[in-house]
Amino acid sequence: MAKPDFGGIWNQVVNENFDAYMRALDVGFATRKIGNMLHPQKVITQDGDHMNIKTLSTFKNYEIDFNLGEEFTESTLDGRKVQTTITLEGDKLCAEQKGEKANRGWCHQLVDGDLHLDLHVGDVKCHQVFKKESK
């Protein structure tokens, strides 16, 4: 099976249960309120097993640069240090983030031309959808 092509510029159109997800990460009230108002953009590039994901917003920008299957130290958007490994699981790009919160991670998947992102920490889940910008 060919690797899915996650590359492109993606704009958020759906953000479900994000406040509960941030609460599960112990994110403060003011930051949660700002986070819930944002509609970030993702810029994804991939070259073989090397990928770069930028998350851009009016509040804060974030970037991860990684090789699939190689663990790295990540400083997350909420300021935590975690050990992250990102792998392809079939057609999903999934991250396992080991740190002070158990069962933390995310998966990207292409569904009908949209980029779906499922985030989880503990038993709390957040679902986001991004539409690709046309060229």
Per-residue pLDDT of 48-95, as tens digits, reads 999 999 999 998 899 999 999 999 999 988 788 999 999 999 999 999
Quick one: what percent of the chain has pLDDT higher than 70?
A: 99
Q: Give the span between the Cα atoms of 49 and 40, in whole angstroms.
A: 25
Q: What is the largest CA-CA distance in the chain?
A: 44
The CA distances from residue 127 to 1, 35, 108, in Å, are 26, 14, 10
Neighbours of 103 (CB within 10 A): 12
112: number of Cβ within 10 Å: 5
Give the pLDDT of residue 93.
97
pLDDT at position 1: 61
Nearest residue to 129 via CA among 37, 19, 112: 112
Residue 56 Cα distances to 12, 32, 83, 88, angstroms: 11, 17, 22, 23
Report the predicted TM-score, pTM, of the whole model to 2 decimal places.
0.93
Pick the residue with more confidence: 13 or 2?
Answer: 13
- Mean pLDDT estimate for the chain: 94
Q: Please check the confidence at residue 111 and state whether its pLDDT lies above 70.
A: yes
